[in-house]
Structure 1
Amino acid sequence: MKRHGQHPEKQLSALQLKQKLSPGRYTDGSGLYLIVDASGAKRWMLRVVVQGRRRDIGLGGVSLVGLAEARETAGSLRKIAREGGDPLSIRRESRKLTPTFALAAEMVHAEHEVTWKNAKHAQQWINTLKQYAFPLIGDYRVDTIDTPAVLRVLSPIWLKKPETARRVRQRIGTILDWAKAAGYRTGDNPIDGIAKGLPKQGEGKKHFATIPFSDVPAFVEKLKCSNSGDMAKWAFEFLILTSCRTSEVLNAKWIEIDSKLWTVPAERMKAKREHRVPLSDRCLEILKAANAISKNPGYVFTGASGDRPLSNMVFLAILKRMKIRTTAHGFRSSFRDWAAEETSFPREVAEMALAHTITNKVEAAYRRGDLLEKRREMMQHWSNFVTSSGHKE
């Protein structure tokens, strides 16, 4: 490894830390070094003689430990060494070494990642924490996190996204168990008693708006075997596969479909903007089947009379017959949770698939495309998942 800036009087500047530096070791004087790895990551290292032996002590990454803090910590450790003490053992006991929740999560993720066979699951394990936990408790030291802090994370999503919330709860618990085993905290894990502060999931009519995405394949299999009419079943499956709204699907016209693309006109969209929907292989199979029995050259999914689209109550009737307490619209939430939990597709791709309005005005001004090809890949993955009745979590 190359060495840079070896003059003993030369010190690093805050500006240098922000610059892109070549891999190597940069001295700040008195044994304190900035290490730049081949990946570009920057970290602090203190070289000091401890009880007659030279020791290298890591002080943390630059993103967590600034220049002033690194110098202050290095000075304290050098003083301990000069007085014959062991700065490493004292530092381990120091409360300054207790990691934040975010850092602890990254450490636990790194330790477990090698044992996970599914790379996407490994990535989503940390992504859900980054999305829901880090903004609220990421900067908290793990020894300060209590039940109210965990409640602040879970309460906003406990009923809206029950499956995601349960996974976040489990992952927070894993991190805090690790922190206790590592000696960073004592006492009970606040996750153990968290249920007392949360409402029971699944109670009340409004809580049945959706089903966990893991149950969607089984639902589709049950739908195919139900005693509803073929056209109604195809329309419902088409709705699930495209993640579109009920009215958009029921009023779909053959003229809107071109090869593997369905273009929903602006007047039928909630946001009043044309929406292009990439069609998966299963969607094309459904359209072929519907076309074979359709009596209307206009609408795709027609009712018994053949001259009008299916009733807007058809999906509710199917669910009632199947005795499943959810809504057709709820499958859009199931899709969104699946995209966040089980894939590495960027958030904006899933949001575009749902035709959600971009609330950030600046982002909306610069977003010109509709990410069609990325969405095509994602919707085929969703179709593969939904139509796989043998799926296991």
Structure 2
Amino acid sequence: MGKLTATGIAKLKEPGRYWDGEGLGLIVGKGGSKSWIVRVQKDGRRRDIGLGSASKVPLKLARERAAEVRQQIEIGIDPVAERAKAAGIPTFSAAVKTVHAENAPSWKNAKHAAQWLNTLETYAVPAFGNRSVADVDAAAVRDCLAAIWLEKPETARRLRQRINAVIDWAVAKGYRTSGLALPVIDKALPRQRAKPKHHAALPYAELPVFTRKLRESESMGRLALEAVILTAARSGEVRMMTWGELDLDAATWTVPAERMKAGREHVVPLSPQAVALFERMKAHRREYTDLVFPGQKRGKPLSDMTLTKALRDMGLNVTAHGFRSTFRDWVAEQTNWPSDLAEAALAHVVSDKTVAAYQRGTMLEKRRELMAAWANYCEGARCGNVAQ
């Protein structure tokens, strides 16, 4: 026998939750509204599932619906997901696939698109993928994030953003009335300790000796590594370089926007040493690909591990990407070139609006002088403070 009665329910005015028994509860809102919920627990997880308004669902029917929900939960059926299917509302898992498909054309590369989907399918879908996208609440998202919040902080932050993107899509589609309460979720998660990871870099003072050693023998990995150093570019940009992007007469390399981290086209002025390197690369050109640095597999670019192996074979525990830091440190400590010029050479996005406005031009000729001085330094020239 339940604790609530039809007469007693009609008299309830005080906001709160009133329990009938076996998980069935009545919620009285501040404005006097009344609605039914049933509290269920399975595999250590507790959920409150709505059963409708008390003005439309009488006590007897609420008890019947509560019993039906408990039975479904017990045999492994998610009643909310079943209800959502009937109403045409997708599950979170289905919503993830739809959002991914809609946004994939706007992402700059297939790798990012795959990572976006993989993050959600690895962590969020197992946690609440079978729930209606309308039923995913702050508690479910918080518990999902908490599982990796401290162990994998960067992955957790990306997961948070991607879950929220799916929920925002659901709001825009009319599948739910509001988004996630992110401030509430954030406050309920433990504080992450920032652990910045820097790419291991070669000190610039050791670079001239390293350059001579690098040129002692010639391989595709060593040639690509030299190109990374002379252009101060990211290794991925160099490995994916095509002959069509190079203009050796004008001594420029134009990297298309879709291959740049900032999503903007970047023109790299080439030093005489860089031009000479690419002239040497013509001997390695292959008929079946336009890639400057082709890999061992037909039509595929050189792998990043090939550059890493070249460094390890030379007895160095640094990364190809770290040479960008080497370049940046050299500019800051050994020259009087302005820092914004170095940032432009590295294709970094500048947040300060004033500096960003100054950088709207490519500063190509100034950067050409800087890259020539850098190439000379790599070969052992005593530059001292380079004049602007």
TM-score, with length taken from structure 1: 0.45
Larger RCO: 1 or 2 (CA < 8 Å, sep 6+): 1
Structure of larger gyration radius: 2
TM-score, with length taken from structure 2: 0.45
